[in-house]
Structure 1
Amino acid sequence: MLDAVGPRLRALRRQRGITLAEVAAKTGISESTLSRLESGRRRANLELLLPLSSAYDVPLDDLVGAPRTGDPRIHLQPIHRYGMTFIPLTRRPGGVQAYKMLIPSSTRPAEPTPQTHSGYEWLYVLNGQLRLVLGERDMVLPPGEAAEFDTTLPHWLGSADGRAVELLILFGLHGERVHVQPRTRS
């Protein structure tokens, strides 16, 4: 496995269009050591691979070509709030968070109770009829419709017709916005 590290390092460096001198400056590893690593005349070790992994922003396992192990399935932990289910699709803290949101069916329409919080939200209706109350506006979004809004504006999400609704939501706590623009033909 370690014999293939040299060609992989050379390919990464060339792919990014950087020189041995630039990699040496980023990692603190001498150019001659880097050259010997890439040519296979020097055996890779953890002391050399860790700074290279960081410099190339590549996981160590990918750098050494480690085989994939473990269970490839994703085990998402749903969050139940306000009678709805939120399934987190991202795992990193901070930045924009992605969720699949499920609003269950109900026998009687829910009474809107608008809420506010800091952040910015973008949503896309996958299935069902979403009722979105946003400030003074009350609208219905069918599948394929999207909306984005500042969450400091009072808002409420629910089913427009009592049937279940599925949405994708991108939420940024610090006001990150999604910029979806139509394609124009040239």
Structure 2
Amino acid sequence: MEELLNLGPRLRAARKDRGWTLDDLAERAGMSPSTLSRLESGKRQASLELLIPLTRQLGIRVDDLLEPGDRDPRVRRVAVQREGMTVAPLTREESEVRAYKLTYHPDAPERPLQVHDGHEWIYVLSGRLRLGLGDAEFVLHRGEVAEFATTTPHSMRAEGSKPAEVISIFNSVGERLHLHPLA
């Protein structure tokens, strides 16, 4: 079965997307690092007994590891509302580059400046977005783009009385540190 050939690399990619080592995931899932290494390299046959604890820790489904190559290309992930913003995923969870449609609501609480590894690119779809970047502040309007290293302290919020809708793209490190603390 072709699906089983991709299981190991998909498992490894999901682990690395979270920035976890073999030891990190193995400990969380209650197995030895060597067992996990053999699963990822295809040297050990996968079983539900091994996969279920791993997928639970990774926050994915067993099906995510077994998807056939000709799967439906549509992304069907649910938008969530957190801390005055709506986060709508535009890419699959296992994608190396993460894209989101973010809606910053004008009544959202002020968030502190954040610093983390990665790089971010944002495109304003509607409204106005206040971007704090280091000591500077910028107001971006519909159609404007900003790109910056996320090692620079930064924050974003709606400017004015209307929501600001943006497309935000970053690598998995930036996504994990930028959005998961909201959960």
Using the size of structure 1 for normalisation, the TM-score is 0.50
Unaligned runs of 5+ in 2: 1-67, 175-183
Q: Is the 8 A contact 2:86 2:103 kept in 1?
A: yes
Shift of 1:87: 0.6
Corresponding residue of 1:79: 80
Determine the C-alpha separation between the residues in 1 that align with 2:70 and 2:89.
26
Determine the C-alpha separation between the residues in 1 that align with 2:74 and 2:170.
24
Determine the C-alpha separation between the residues in 1 that align with 2:123 and 2:161.
19
Residue identity in the other structure for 1:91: R
Corresponding residue of 1:59: 69
Shift of 1:153: 1.1
More helix by share: 2
- 1:128-180 deviation line (CA, Å, top 9, x unaligned): 010000011101000000001111211100011131110001111458xxxxx
Highest Rg: 1 or 2? 1
Unaligned runs of 5+ in 1: 1-57, 62-67, 176-186
Residue identity in the other structure for 1:100: K
Determine the C-alpha separation between the residues in 2 that align with 1:93 and 1:147.
25
RMSD (CA atoms): 2.8
- 1:96-131 deviation line (CA, Å, top 9, x unaligned): 10100011232xx85452111221110000000100
Shift of 1:94: 4.7
- 1:14-41 deviation line (CA, Å, top 9, x unaligned): xxxxxxxxxxxxxxxxxxxxxxxxxxxx
Q: How many residues align?
A: 107
Identity %: 40
Q: Is the 8 A contact 1:127 1:143 kept in 2?
A: yes
Determine the C-alpha separation between the residues in 1 that align with 2:160 and 2:110.
13
